[in-house]
Amino acid sequence: MTVRVGVLGATGAVGQRLIQLIDPHPDFELTAVTASESSAGKSYREAAKWRVEAPIPDDVAEMTVDATTPEAVPEDVDLVFSSLPSSVGAEVEPAFCRAGYIVSSNSSNGRLDPDIPLTIPEVNADHLDLIEIQRDERGWDGALLKNPNCSTITMVPPLAALDDAFGLTDVRVSTLQAVSGAGYSGVTSMEIIDNAIPHIGGEEQKMETESRKLLGTFDGAEVDRHGMDVAASCNRIATLDGHLENVWADTADDVTVAAAEDAMEAATGIDLPSSPERLIRVFEEPDRPQPRLDRNIENGMGVAVGGFRETTDGVQFNCLAHNTMRGAAGASVLNGELLLEDGYL
């Protein structure tokens, strides 16, 4: 069975990555692309300033761009991927859900709402059934599913592995984030050449709260957030893709470097079409992972870790993932696959 899908905000940086992933997808057929009012009616080729290194798929290039409203999108679309600015997403996504569409969204709005599932399929696929609560409470025929922020996604699979094995109590994380995480024009060249910016608005809060929801427990009625104490410090640096993070994880049980590495290497989770073969790759070389060398492992869907050291109360390590693949477009596609696997489509 092929699912007919649309992409909301298809001309943006993450939108372009979504197109790239959906076009060859075995289960999804792209039938609608939307953008702002001013692009509606144009061909996708005209409307998108295409910046992905591979060329625009020919058939997508000729698609006509729709406005980003439920009325403008064909009714027989089953699933829409959303990568809208959060202020737009906050208005548009509920409208699509009311109109019966299922929305897999990368936008930050609503991620912490108690009845909106926030999932990384390999970590907390069971949270998906929050959709039942959501539909009851909101009276939607459709549904809204979120993936986390790109910097959160990078650290949560390794943290989940540690939590399962040793129990997390405190997390400190410092990020070195790529400019693509801010969108195509988000960071000017004058800001970042020979420089770093020790602040990304709202990012620290996202990492601190989303991680606790992701590692929380769903009892069928609500998600009880994990009780660990998380503090983040977020930096932008002059890399194109790939968020690198330094993590200190304090654990309830004793942990060694070897045990931590074993726990991460053993992490698997659900098997979906876009899942990496190996969720977490452990590097033994002390200077890896590095953004340019390692961001593309597992087609950009893996998480790379390394630099393990024991600390007084746990371990410290580094992790890396491709922020627009595993951290955004790929995360949404994976969530779409989870919706299909679990019978929501």
Q: Which residues bind a copy of itself (CB under 8 A)?
A: 51, 53, 172, 174, 176, 179-180, 184-199, 201, 204, 229, 231, 233, 235, 237-240, 244, 246, 248, 286-293, 296, 306-307, 309, 311-312, 316, 318
Nearer to a copy of itself, 71 or 194 (CB): 194
Nearer to a copy of itself, 36 or 233 (CB): 233
Nearest distance, CB of residue 325 and a copy of itself, angstroms: 15
Nearest distance, CB of residue 241 and a copy of itself, angstroms: 8
Nearest distance, CB of residue 240 and a copy of itself, angstroms: 5
Cβ–Cβ under 8 Å, residues 274 and 214: no
Nearer to a copy of itself, 69 or 316 (CB): 316
Cβ–Cβ under 8 Å, residues 229 and 252: no
Beta bridge partners of 245: 175, 319
127 an active-site residue? no
Nearest distance, CB of residue 42 and a copy of itself, angstroms: 18
Distances (CA, A) of 81 to 222, 337, 345: 25, 11, 13
Nearest distance, CB of residue 82 and a copy of itself, angstroms: 22
Residue with the two structure tokens 């092929």: 2
Amino acid at site 261? E
Active-site option among 127, 226, 243, 322: 243
The secondary element (H helix, E strand) that includes residue 219 is none
End-to-end Cα separation, the chain, in angstroms:
10
Tokens of 290: 């590095």
Nearest distance, CB of residue 84 and a copy of itself, angstroms: 20
List, in order, residues 6 or more apart from 183 with CB less than 8 Å away.
12, 13, 14
Q: Please, is 201 exposed, middle or buried when counting C-beta atoms within 10 Å of its C-beta (0-12, 13-18, 19+)?
A: exposed
Active-site option among 97, 150, 234, 319: 150
Beta bridge partners of 35: 67
Nearer to a copy of itself, 107 or 239 (CB): 239
Q: CA 73 to CA 51: how far, in whole Å?
A: 25
Tokens of 61: 């290039």
234 an active-site residue? no
Cβ–Cβ under 8 Å, residues 301 and 274: yes
Nearer to a copy of itself, 40 or 192 (CB): 192
Nearer to a copy of itself, 187 or 340 (CB): 187
Tokens of 6: 């649309």
Catalytic positions, written as ranges: 150, 243
